[in-house]
Structure 1
């Protein structure tokens, strides 16, 4: 006889497969909260669908949301069903997303072919949470053709996005120091395409030349891909069509060189690592005595970590 949980999972899965958008929203909430029912749904649905996953990152104020909004329009004009995951930094008080769904994208809320969801990074050391990858799996299973993952562009998220997305788009602006900061952060190495947004501001040509010079010194990318640079003005839509074609070109490059499967494996690896990291974070919050012993010099961090990972060893010698 099926348990109540199994019955709930089967009922929600049935509605999900029928294309009920409320079932998708419910499934995403369950997964993000770590509910066992969400994990059961993931096992049943994972691996279905093959969306083109585009990560959009860059410094705050670069116009990522406006640019993503324009890219949604381009995708819809080509008949693609589009999902958007907007990953916001978690509130330190509530754990919820601070920024909420990006206002600039809300004109799509009446379009059944577009679904936008904000996710909190939930303490993932400034980066993406494993829940982001789980949400991606659900959106793929729901049948979206293209999924944009937009990060706030601070901390670890800019590097994490390359492990999650098939194509990583780095958005820069002509603002002084934008390119220099990208070089220092190592983000140059993870970007598959560059958009110099707000190109109507002074300094656009200069930053493009800086990018080209840096790329000349960068190591070769898989399959010999050389990241193109696209000037854009997202506010008016200028250059967005060419940028979208660039995203397509990179996807075709991945297909042509058999690189997509490696991306999928790396995404799964990132998800498992994120779960382990979250477990560790929760355990250390409950292990005040062990942490205090590290602070007093009675235990090394490695010894404390081993005890947390193997609770049965806590009775043994330090």
Structure 2
């Protein structure tokens, strides 16, 4: 009964636009708390935010660029949510200090809400927590949500499954062309920003990207990823980049692709929970794992035994 009363109170404040209720809900969901899950079920699917994923190697200037894009969105009267995802920092909460300091100018703006996710171990791990946090921000009524990831391997590919539009930020100086051409990363980007374009090698990087894109498979609806030179520190090229984000959103609408994105996001969330369950169960399945290592069981037999404890392996 107390649970129900708490839920009613939290939902009421959340729907009334209380930012503290949003912060509480995000904390509960990130921790995998039943109250957070219950609230999420009630409010999910309300709101239609434009979700933009921003990824790229550390040092590419993603936070500064995100900061500039927030300004562009606010100029247009949009209410903006930002999720700064740092999968590399499970203990120190490294995302929190760095991103919050860089985006401090928005601290007093009630139309901007910035949240760092730097936790592990919640239901679905960080990936599941990110999608759940997105759903909460969307239900809260944000017009645009930026999801910025630190960009280490898997998180670059994951973000494309979570966002409607994926922006890959590269810089001329960091050997980024080589990084970007690694399997999977070129394919996920809907737009490219060559940031710190004032450094040597900017034009060359754009030419390398163009050549690589000519060889990559066509995108849904025939979208051809554009490349924008930017200098986030001065704001140069940022307005054009923002217009590019808008153009991609229009493309998704015109070709009926948005609903597919929503379904893929939900599929990704369910997969994340399954993966986290599997990870937790194998941690405490020493005997099964030992039998696999000794060749007594196949990995499939061990996995089935974990999924269905009543089906005892031979």
Q: Pick the TM interval, shorter chain.
A: over 0.9
- Which of 17, 25, 28 does residue 26 from structure 2 map onto? 28
**Equivalent position of 1:50 in the other structure:** 48
**Equivalent position of 1:132 in the other structure:** 130
Tell me the distance in 2 between the aligned counterparts of 1:29 and 1:225: 37
Tell me the distance in 2 between the aligned counterparts of 1:104 and 1:44: 34
Shift of 1:175: 1.9
**Structure 1 unmatched ranges of 5 or more:** none
Tell me the distance in 2 between the aligned counterparts of 1:312 and 1:155: 37
TM-score, normalized by length of structure 1?
0.94
Q: Do the aligned residues in 2 keep the contact of 1:128 with 1:157 (CA within 8 Å)?
A: no
Tell me the distance in 2 between the aligned counterparts of 1:90 and 1:22: 27
Q: Do the aligned residues in 1 keep the contact of 2:55 with 2:62 (CA within 8 Å)?
A: yes
Shift of 1:176: 4.7
**Equivalent position of 2:111 in the other structure:** 113
Tell me the distance in 1 between the aligned counterparts of 2:216 and 2:96: 36
**Equivalent position of 1:194 in the other structure:** 192
Deviations 1:204-235 (A, max 9, x none): 00000000011111111111110000000001
Tell me the distance in 2 between the aligned counterparts of 1:204 and 1:185: 22
Q: Do the aligned residues in 2 keep the contact of 1:82 with 1:115 (CA within 8 Å)?
A: yes
Q: Do the aligned residues in 2 keep the contact of 1:71 with 1:244 (CA within 8 Å)?
A: yes
- Which of 87, 94, 97 does residue 93 from structure 2 map onto? 97
Shift of 1:309: 0.6
Deviations 1:111-167 (A, max 9, x none): 10000001126269xx95111011001000100000000001002010011110000
Tell me the distance in 1 between the aligned counterparts of 2:227 and 2:88: 31
**Equivalent position of 2:179 in the other structure:** 181
Paired residues in the alignment total 310
Tell me the distance in 2 between the aligned counterparts of 1:298 and 1:55: 45
**Structure 2 unmatched ranges of 5 or more:** none
Tell me the distance in 2 between the aligned counterparts of 1:90 and 1:66: 19
**Equivalent position of 1:260 in the other structure:** 258
Deviations 1:57-77 (A, max 9, x none): 001110000000000000001
Say yes or no: does 1:84 pair with 2:82: yes
Q: Do the aligned residues in 1 keep the contact of 2:171 with 2:196 (CA within 8 Å)?
A: yes
TM-score, normalized by length of structure 2?
0.95
> What are the equivalent positions in structure 2 for 1:1-318 lying under 5 Å apart?
3-89=1-87, 91=89, 94=91, 97-101=93-97, 102=99, 103-120=101-118, 122=120, 129-314=127-312, 317-318=313-314
SS in 1 for 2:96: coil
Tell me the distance in 2 between the aligned counterparts of 1:254 and 1:54: 13
Shift of 1:300: 1.7
Kindly tell me: are residues 61 and 91 of structure 1, through their superposed partners in 2, closer, same or farther at Cα, counting changes over 3 Å?
A: closer
Kindly tell me: are residues 12 and 90 of structure 1, through their superposed partners in 2, closer, same or farther at Cα, counting changes over 3 Å?
A: farther
**Over the residues paired in the alignment, what is the CA RMSD in angstroms?**
1.5
